[in-house]
Amino acid sequence: MSGDALQTRDVIAAIYLQQLQELASEISVATDAIAANALPRLQESVAKQEMLCAGLIKLANSVGDGLGSSVQPSCSGIDPAVETKIQAASRTIRELNLQYAALLRHSGKTIALLASLCRSHTGQFQEAGGPRLKYQTWSCEM
């Protein structure tokens, strides 16, 4: 692999690392927005995450294409220090994604509970059966 190709690959790897770190930051912003019930901030963060992911895919494909055509496929050609940072950023994103998913699940359950309470308050809640169906009731599902 030529020196120019290795230098280009290092530049691409550095950009990839930077975008991974920005993605981790945006996931944290989205998590905070959910916790603060800030829908506009969440929507903005999700849009940024989508753009960063699209950029990461393009960068990964460009590096992958170069690896497929190299004479030594076992050699990535990326500076080991940058590669280590990329792996650490990837682990951070995986951990943040698990926390993000758990928060979304919890938020979904909270929304379902609030919706149930609101339906109950307006008389739209219907119990499973029995003579009490014709009466409005307050209920709380746990």
Q: Which residue has the tokens 């926390």?
A: 99
Of 17-26, 29-38, 49-58, 108-117, where does mean pLDDT reach its minimum?
108-117
The CA-atom distances, in angstroms, between 17 and each of 28, 52, 91, 113 are 17, 11, 12, 40
Kindly report the pTM of this predicted structure.
0.67
CA 84, CA 51: separation in Å to the nearest integer?
A: 24
- pLDDT tens digits for range 69-116: 444 444 566 788 888 999 999 999 999 999 988 888 877 777 777 777
Share of the chain above pLDDT 90, in %: 37
**pLDDT-derived band at 131, boundaries 50, 70, 90:** low
d(CA 61, CA 38): 35
